[in-house]
Amino acid sequence: MINTRTMPPRLPERKELLRTIARFSGRRVLVVGDLMLDQYVRGAVGRISPEAPVPVVRVTGESHIPGGAGNVVNNLASLGAKVSVLGVIGEDDAGARLVEHFRGRGVNVEGVCVDVERQTTQKCRVIAERQQVVRFDRETSGPLSHATESRLLASLDAELPDADAVILSDYGKGVINPRVLSRAIGAARRRGIPVTVDPKPEHFRLYKGVTCVTPNTSEAWACMRRDAKPGSDAIDALGADILKVLKSRSVLITRGPDGMSLFEEGRRPRITHIPTQAREVFDVSGAGDTVISTLTLALAAGAPLRRAAALANHAAGIVVAKLGTATTDAKELARAIR
Ligand SMILES: Nc1ncnc2c1ncn2[C@@H]1O[C@H](COP(=O)(O)OP(=O)(O)OP(=O)(O)O)[C@@H](O)[C@H]1O
Ligand SMILES: [Mg+2]
């Protein structure tokens, strides 16, 4: 049974939030996960092709930005963390770009494995007059080879002792597998540092014992293999059940325009609903990456879960008001709280 009679717990005060932000700088966070490169090709449509009934896009510009676990790395670097990244790329231009981008931001890339048999995950979006025309995906998403997995595990053993927190960013492309998970979660727990997971519902039961999992609403339902039900009571029961199954310290369900709900373990789960802080919403893509980055960095800085979640919610409120997959920094976050 869930205790619904208790008053909602007090949300952390501004002063406490600001104190945690002041401790972001230099915290060491290890990101393990599926790296991706997002490519944007921009142009104008002048006419329909004489070859086939498709628009002809005259290309005027092109840009690249890390996606997936790479977007988590970017968010953390912007917030002031010292980031190390573990993942797999192919021996290709997209992989080289990712590494170059990370190096440019001072990220430790020692743990990025090049696997010549795999392609770097890349999503190329063609945007004409602000409209997405088509997206091309390139990826190898099967299980890792034995050799690549061994290198990844060795890097994990090398990097984990230096970390203040670990993020497992699972986009289901192969890096987060049972062995990598159990090694990372086991080592983090032995060291007493927080370990958080952005989950893939298919791997859900492998995340046992982590500090926090951060599914969005539909992932949370999928994790429990249930059909989604509307309403706050249904979410309360769902979160409590996830806690029970995972035996994790907490679950943070991100609920888009409805903010987020934090469930903390206890004889009765403690539930905190946090309304969104967003004033304007332009682009929600990548908000989930901002949530797990801010949450984990705050935990690494010594914040309790509720304060970390409140900060993550503020950070998400900032990035959804920006165009594209965006990030925020400590200064902007502090300003939003004042
Ligand atoms: N439409 C919205 N209005 C206001 N706030 C939003 C909206 N969408 C997202 N947010 C904020 O961003 C947080 C994370 O968003 P969401 O629950 O959509 O995660 P997600 O589905 O993992 O996102 P993504 O996969 O795009 O990174 C929410 O908890 C909320 O604070
Ligand atoms: Mg997400």
CA gap 231, 302 in Å, rounded: 33
- Whole-number pLDDT of residue 141: 86
The runs of H, that is alpha helices, within 247-337 are 287-300, 305-319, 330-337
Contacts of 195 (CB under 8 A, 6+ apart): 165, 166, 167, 168, 184, 185, 188, 189, 210, 211
C-alpha 292 – ligand 2 centre gap (Å): 9
Q: Quick one: pLDDT at residue 9? A: 54
> Which atom of ligand 1 is nearest to 312's Cα?
31
Residue 309 CA neighbour count, 13 Å, CB half:
29
Torsion sign over Cα 119, 125, 126, 132: positive
The Cα–Cα gap between 279 and 11 comes to: 19
Which of 196, 252, 284 to mutate to test ligand 1, by most ligand atoms within 8 A of the CB atom? 284
- The model carries a pTM of 0.95
Give the integer Cα–Cα distance in Å for 64 and 66.
Answer: 7
Strands (E), 99-192: 108-114, 121-128, 131-138, 165-169
Model pLDDT, residue 302: 97
User: Could you say which DSSP state residue 10 is in?
Assistant: P
Residue located via tokens 């002063």: 15
Q: Verify whether ligand 1 is closer than 6 Å to residue 275 (CB atom).
A: no
The tens digit of pLDDT for each residue in 249-288 reads: 999 999 999 999 999 999 899 999 999 998 899 999 999 9
Ligand nearest to the CA of 311: 1
From ligand 1's centre to the CA of 91, what distance in Å?
Answer: 33
Query: How high is the pLDDT of residue 315?
Result: 97
Ligand 1 pocket test, pick from 11, 217, 254 with the greatest ligand atom count within 8 Å of Cβ, gives 254
The reply to whether ligand 1 has any atom less than 6 angstroms from the CB of 279 is no
Catalytic residues: 289
**Element (DSSP H or E) covering residue 221:** helix 217-223
The ligand minimizing its distance to the Cα of 262 is 1
Q: Is 315 exposed, middle or buried (0-12, 13-18, 19+ CB in 10 A)?
A: buried
Q: What does the alpha-carbon distance between residue 127 and residue 131 come to, in Å, rounded to a whole number?
A: 5
pLDDT score of 5: 43
Residue 265 corresponds to which amino acid? E
Between the CA of 33 and the centroid of ligand 1 the distance, in Å, is 20
CA dihedral 321, 326, 332, 333 (to 10 degrees): 90
- Give tens-digit pLDDT for 157-192: 999 999 999 999 999 999 999 999 999 999 999 999
Q: Which residues partner with 237 through β-bridges?
A: none
286 lines ligand 1 (CB under 6 A): yes
Q: What is the pLDDT of residue 10?
A: 62
Between the CA of 73 and the centroid of ligand 2 the distance, in Å, is 14
What atom in ligand 1 is closest to the CA of residue 316?
Answer: 12
Helix (H, G, I), strand (E, B) or coil at 174: coil
Q: How far is the CA of 217 from the centre of ligand 1 (A)?
A: 10
What residue ranges define each of the domains in the chain, with the CATH number in brackets? 14-40+66-122+139-337 (3.40.1190.20)
338 residues of the chain, pLDDT tens digit each:
454 444 455 667 899 999 999 999 999 999 999 999 999 999 999 899 999 999 999 999 999 999 999 999 999 999 999 999 999 999 999 999 999 999 999 999 999 999 999 999 999 999 998 889 999 999 998 999 999 999 999 999 999 999 999 999 999 999 999 999 999 999 999 999 999 999 999 999 999 999 999 999 999 999 999 999 998 899 999 999 999 999 999 999 999 999 999 999 998 999 999 999 988 999 999 999 999 999 999 999 999 999 999 999 999 999 999 988 799 999 999 999 98
Alpha-carbon distance of 70 to 180, in angstroms, equals 18
**192 Cβ contact partners less than 8 Å away, ≥ 6 residues apart:** none
| Residue 278: per-residue pLDDT | 87
Q: Residue 315 is encoded by which pair of tokens?
A: 């950070």
